[in-house]
Amino acid sequence: MFIWQLVAFLAGRGAAKSFSGLETSYRFAQLTDVHIEPFYNPERGHLKGGVCRVPEAFNKSSCVPFKVEPEAATYPLGRLNCDPPFALLRSVLEHMAHVAETEKPDFVMFTGDIPSHQLSCQFHQARTIEMVIEMMADKLKKVAPTWFPAMGNNDYFPNYNVSMEPNSPWQQFVASIYAREGVLSGEQLKTFAAGGYYSASPRPGLKVIVLNTVVWSQKVLDWNAAPKKHVHHHQDVSEANLYHGPDAPLEGSDTSGWVWDEDVASKKIFVDCDARPADPYGQLAWARQELLRARSSGQRVIVAGHVPPGNKVGSNNFCQQHLDDFKHLTQDFADIIEVQLYGDHSNDEFRMVWEETPRPRAVSSILVSAGVTPRKHCNPSWRMFEVSKEHQVSDFSQYFLRLADTDIQLNMDSRWEKLHRLGRDEEVSWKFWQKQYSFRDQYGVGLDPEELQELWMALQRDPGLLRTYVSHMFSQTVGNYDYFDYICDMRYLSEEKNDACSARGALLESPPPLELRRAIGPTSSDAEVAETYGSMRLAVLGASLTLNLLLGSVVLLMVRRRRREEAASYVALP
């Protein structure tokens, strides 16, 4: 019996491979959510806000001069549940450069969030952003010829303090840093300085559209309504425009008409969704024009942003009207949008934009990368995408670093320890990175919406597969047991439907009897979806299924026995 199992397994793999049969024509990488902590100190772990920070930098009534803490001796590359030090950024950028030696990406997408959480004053935020962009601009030169940054919610200060008006001083400031480092220029710089969005064409036939999705978030801060607390600025900080010491703003960044804001919001008040402009900065109208132009010139499109549409641990990311508009835009251009890339969640996830009529089907793939910060108990990660001809994004490989390993190993080798102290440990610390998985190898499907839909169906029927997904979701650290919600998140982007799905879903204590399992599938209201799933699976696993048929009852018995051993099973279908 073991032999048959092996044969079936190999046939299944063979089928997946030959189905893919896609030659890589180029690659691109995704880096996200670096959240670098300049005041990193692992001994001051978890005091508040999921950061490890020296106490004086926590003080929200005073803004101490900016300085980067010396390299930490314990947890040198970062600590779970904390934002990481610069050492981790050096390490990931160096690893990307090493991978690029054999698998050179054409470009890197950076989907936002530069500084650590809850820095105590605007000055610390601005300086951290400057330093990180400088380091990335320098080190990414070894990785790819270009990179495309997006605005994250932490790239404003305070977090989510994004202006609804174009060309805000903060937006201009961040734009000026990207300009100075040669990352953005011309028309891209103009729209980025206005609202943090732009488009690019890194290859013939390909368009990249970078959106500022932060401005659609429910959590946009209402600065004028927020009760404010005055921050006592150190004199050097107050005179930052004149100051030319080591922590002064670097030359070339736009601080004209800029006064360091000495207030922080002591309590957050959000801009009511109903009180917002329909299309802040005219970004959606702009994106529609870009998509129309892409269609008429036969381009494929990659859409990227920071905050993804849909649910984040129980609450909806976008205001409903912006979600609706975004969905319509995506549906209207599903024929040319290849894939959408996001960050923000610090979890590795996927979800889909669906079309409900004439029958429910997924029309756009939304891929969320966990990124570099281990703050949400995820090991640090980054992704390399493979694209076959006609700009078909066919797979990604995720690389990760087991943080627990680095603490012991860096400290066991005195040469490494020394390099670390000198801030040059990337020579060795890149070696801690390893491949975590390839999506196609792991799940047997690619990244097209139909394929994700197929996987979504499979995840509901196979608890083992869902566990694999959750293990990747947390980059091989632990997640929580509430797996069912993830199934709803993949399917329903709006609050109401997502809640209804969660309420309907059940984590079944024991596997349902076989008759019930049959009833759950094709007789449900999503019957047609299930049918599509059935026929696609046939196509994909053709060889494997044929073999299964031949094996007949023997294999069936085996599968049944294996299923019975599974502790739980999940259903999203009514």
Give the interface with ligand NAG as residue ranges (CB under 6 A): 59, 61-62, 122, 157, 161, 163, 168, 223, 232, 261, 263
Closest CA to 30 of 370, 506, 320, 282: 370
Q: How far is the CB of 454 from ligand NAG (least distance, A)?
A: 44
Cβ distance to ligand NAG smaller for residue 225 or 313: 225
Q: How many CB atoms are located within 10 Å of the residue 2 CB?
A: 7
Q: How far is the CB of 153 from ligand NAG (least distance, A)?
A: 13
**CA–CA separation, 149 and 117 (whole Å):** 19
Q: How far is the CB of 194 from ligand NAG (least distance, A)?
A: 13
Q: How far is the CB of 515 from ligand NAG (least distance, A)?
A: 60
Cβ distance to ligand NAG smaller for residue 4 or 223: 223
Q: How far is the CB of 124 from ligand NAG (least distance, A)?
A: 11
Positions of E strands within 344-446: 349-355, 361-368, 381-388, 392-401, 433-438
Q: How far is the CB of 231 from ligand NAG (least distance, A)?
A: 8
**CA–CA separation, 345 and 340 (whole Å):** 15
Q: How many CB atoms are located within 10 Å of the residue 366 CB?
A: 23
User: 237-262 burial string, b = 16+ CB within 10 Å, else e?
Assistant: bbebeeeeeebbbeeebbbeebebbb
**CA–CA separation, 387 and 410 (whole Å):** 36
Cβ distance to ligand NAG smaller for residue 5 or 62: 62
Q: How far is CA 481 from CA 88, 311, 377, 422, 467, in A?
A: 29, 17, 14, 42, 10
Q: How far is the CB of 478 from ligand NAG (least distance, A)?
A: 34
Q: How far is the CB of 226 from ligand NAG (least distance, A)?
A: 9
Q: How far is the CB of 263 from ligand NAG (least distance, A)?
A: 6
**CA–CA separation, 80 and 404 (whole Å):** 8
Q: How far is the CB of 59 from ligand NAG (least distance, A)?
A: 4
Q: How far is CA 51 from CA 377, 380, 479, in A?
A: 12, 15, 19
Q: How many CB atoms are located within 10 Å of the residue 49 CB?
A: 14
Cβ distance to ligand NAG smaller for residue 163 or 406: 163
Q: What own/partner pairs with CB < 8 Å and gap ≥ 24 does 169-172 have?
A: 169/257, 169/258, 171/195, 171/196, 172/254
Burial class from Cβ neighbours inside 10 Å (0-12, 13-18, 19+) for residue 528 reads middle
β-pairing, 40-45 vs 52-53, is antiparallel
Positions of E strands within 231-348: 232-233, 263-265, 300-304, 311-312, 315-316, 337-342
Q: What is the largest CA-CA distance in the chain?
A: 82
Q: How far is the CB of 105 from ligand NAG (least distance, A)?
A: 34
At residue 437, φ and ψ (nearest 5 deg) are: -170, 160
Cβ distance to ligand NAG smaller for residue 164 or 336: 164
Q: How far is CA 85 from CA 9, 56, 82, 260, in A?
A: 43, 17, 9, 25
Cβ distance to ligand NAG smaller for residue 232 or 560: 232
Closest CA to 30 of 130, 136, 105, 142: 105
